[in-house]
Chain A
Amino acid sequence: MLYGTVTSDGTGVQGVKITATNDSGFSGEATTDAKGAWEIKTPKSGTYTVTLDEATLPDGVALTAESGNTRTVNALLGKVRIQFPTGEGTGGGASKAEQAVQLTVDGLLLGLILALAALGVSLIYGTTGLTNFAHGELVTLGALSTYFYSAVLHLPLVISAVLALISCGILGALQDKVLWKQLRRRGTGLIAMLVVSIGLGIFIRYLFLFFFGGATQQFPEFSGQEGLELGPLAITPKAIIGAIAAIIAILASIYWLLKTRMGKASRAVADNPALASASGIDVERVINVVWILGATLAALSGILVGLTSGVSWNMGQQILLLIFAAVTVGGLGTAFGALLGSIIVGLLIQLSTLVIPPELKSVGALFILIIILLVRPQGLLGRRERIG
């Protein structure tokens, strides 16, 4: 089966005609639905030529110059996904300066989304030493549970989101209690825990796929929201509201870290668990709270990703590397480093598209990660480890 989604600026394009043919005379045709999705059933494996009829694209939407409208694919193994990247229509392009403004705003938004998840990764790493490769699945869980409450139980999106945050917080605490706490008690090594988190990540991801399916879904509300034009800027109201929610959550976390007893305790645990425990801090309780916070923040991050680019079973995995890049750039285990790193990575990814093709923007960011580690191995705000 061949399938794909034709989108423009994140929303599906309806009514685009796609055909597929092969050497032995097969010919199939499909038209994209309201979400831009299409699929063509193919009788057997082999090489197919897939063509998008550019005349059926709506005004203002065109395939990117590099993309072209035909693809030759090898449908050997089951499903093959085919992409036709679209760009701005033939209408006048924005100037570099205008693009830069737009990309800066996009970059900051991405940075905020990454920061929510990165903060959790960093706090958990700081307090327990765990490099959590299953954190992306917490992000996905946030979006999936919001989707569940809103699309399946038909609750309003805002209420669904709040319910999702609460349930993810609870599940975070549970995950810590059932799994990680036990491993800490057994004295499992840090690398072993890291590998366990990889296994857990794979398991949860395919569990999501099992129940949710492979398609990208939109939340029932606000999915095709009109963008606002603010001077050269185009931004959707949902993105603005999402950014505000993210900023509030981040500020609240900072307040928690700096001003509350529990937050201070968490920093003490990160600094020196043995000393913290000796001075009467209940380390396990602190860690559990950190997990609740981390899971809730990750869930919010997932909801925001879902709002802008839809919900899918592996959405968290797709941004996990960027989250790690952010945390590493800032310095593993330092909360403020994670925030700083996220904003840097977010801006870098978006602004790099001024000079490199958008499809390679993550490559640029990951490359910078390696460069920064070369110059400053402990990350921007990190501390060097002790010897002896």
Chain B
Amino acid sequence: MPAETTAGTRKEAAVAALSTVAHTPGSKKPDPIVVVDGMVRRFGGLTAVNVDHVEIQRGAITALIGPNGAGKTTFFNLLTGFDQPDEGDWSLNGTSLKGVAPHKVARMGMVRTFQLTKALSKLTVMDNMRLGATGQSGESFWRAALPFFWSAQEKKNTERSMELLTRFKLDAKKDDFAGEMSGGQRKLLEMARALMVGPEMVMLDEPMAGVNPALTQSLLGHIKDLREQGMTVLFVEHDMDMVRDISDWVIVMGQGQVIAEGPPDTVMADQAVIDAYLGSHHDQALTESGEAFTADQPEEQA
């Protein structure tokens, strides 16, 4: 994506486009990249996701918030094909993604990261990055044994990786094993690696969790950058200050449903949202809040 527009203009454009949108769950967006209809996912008796209708605006940063166990990660899994819903349909750029395999979803331009970081530990940082590049002829079995087929392309991918690593300040680590890095650095690497795919839409599941405060600022900067480069961002975050800082639009989930939508300030004043968060503290059964202990603990204290 060309980034010839000066910093900040894309933000204004996004905010302007969203200014006319109603602050109600499931409201229509002027230029939606993702449209979800009647998506339901049940685990036994528990309905983890039950989204009637939701649209994600192209070129904007949308935050997905909600208490633990609200179904955000499950929603991500469903959108990206990692899990299949019991009912419902959803589309990217008007193409239905129903039944599309996760790797195809990624190739169609929707790339995600994971709440629990998935850096490939015993690959070097550089190999992690190069793995993200698409259309590599050296990834075909028949050509792999003969470097002649792929060395030129490999060189280009290495250069592009190097640019991104420099941008994310990981260039000094390029020959280290990914497993040797700190949790925050691995989050950065995972995000940089996702960008190697050349996505149109980036989905980040709790990108800031466990990242030390010094790094969060630069992470936030990177996320804003994505929008300036014309990408659409959907991200899950618990820290309301950060949500307010970078997002153009906020979608709130509670018990699997979209309970509120709107610009950050409006949403945070919404009584339904406050109830959802407070309610989550005393109403939830023990097993449901189990997620809180495993997934949301900062995974890296150092």
- Residues on A lying within 8 angstroms of B by beta carbon are 271-272, 274-275, 278-279, 383, 387-388
Contact = CB atoms under 8 A, between A and B. Distances in A.
Interface in B276-302: 286-287, 290, 293-294
Interface string B59-87: 00000000000000110110000110000
A180 B83 CA distance: 34
A388 B294 contact: no
A388 B77 contact: yes
Contact of A278 (B73, B205, B293): B293
A387 B118 CA distance: 11
A140 B35 CA distance: 59
Interface of B: 43-44, 73-74, 76-77, 82-83, 114-116, 205, 286-287, 290, 293-294
B293 A388 contact: no
For the complex of A and B, list the 4 residue pairs with the smallest distance between their C-beta atoms, beginning with the closest: A275-B290, A272-B290, A388-B73, A275-B293
Given A272-B293, A278-B293, 12 more contacts: A271-B287, A272-B287, A272-B290, A274-B294, A275-B293, A275-B294, A383-B43, A383-B44, A387-B77, A388-B74, A388-B82, A388-B205
Given A274-B293, A275-B294, A388 B286 contact: no
Contact of B294 (A272, A279, A383): A272
* Secondary structure type dominating chain A contacts: loop
A279 B286 contact: yes
B76 to A, nearest CB: 6
Contacts of A383: 43-44
B76 A388 contact: yes
Output the residue of A271, A272, A274, A387 with the most chain B CB within 10 A.
A387
Contacts of B287: 271-272, 275
A323 to B, nearest CB: 27
B81 to A, nearest CB: 10
Nearest to A272: B290
Nearest to B289: A275
24 contacts: A271-B287, A272-B287, A272-B290, A272-B294, A274-B293, A274-B294, A275-B286, A275-B287, A275-B293, A275-B294, A383-B43, A383-B44, A387-B77, A387-B82, A387-B83, A387-B114, A388-B73, A388-B74, A388-B76, A388-B77, A388-B114, A388-B115, A388-B116, A388-B205
A171 B116 CA distance: 38
Contacts of B116: 388
Contacts of A272: 287, 290, 293-294
Given A388-B82, A388-B116, A271 B77 contact: no
A217 to B, nearest CB: 48
A227 to B, nearest CB: 46
A271 B44 CA distance: 14
A24 B190 CA distance: 73
Nearest to B292: A275
A275 B297 CA distance: 12
Contacts of B44: 383
Nearest to A277: B293
A297 B290 CA distance: 31
A274 B287 CA distance: 12
A94 B87 CA distance: 53
Nearest to A273: B294
Output the residue of B73, B114, B293 with the most chain A CB within 10 A.
B293
A272 B295 CA distance: 11
Contacts of B82: 387-388
Contacts of A388: 73-74, 76-77, 82, 114-116, 205
Contacts of B83: 387
A240 B33 CA distance: 67
Output the residue of A278, A387, A388 with the most chain B CB within 10 A.
A388
Contacts of B290: 271-272, 275
Contacts of B114: 387-388
Nearest to B43: A383
Contacts of B76: 388
Nearest to B83: A387
Contacts of B205: 388
A278 B297 CA distance: 12
A275 B293 CA distance: 6
A320 to B, nearest CB: 31
A19 B105 CA distance: 70
A383 B46 CA distance: 13
A387 B81 CA distance: 11
B109 to A, nearest CB: 19
A272 B43 CA distance: 16
A190 to B, nearest CB: 15
A272 B286 CA distance: 11
A383 B286 CA distance: 19
Contacts of A275: 286-287, 290, 293-294
B80 to A, nearest CB: 9
A90 B192 CA distance: 77
Contacts of B115: 388
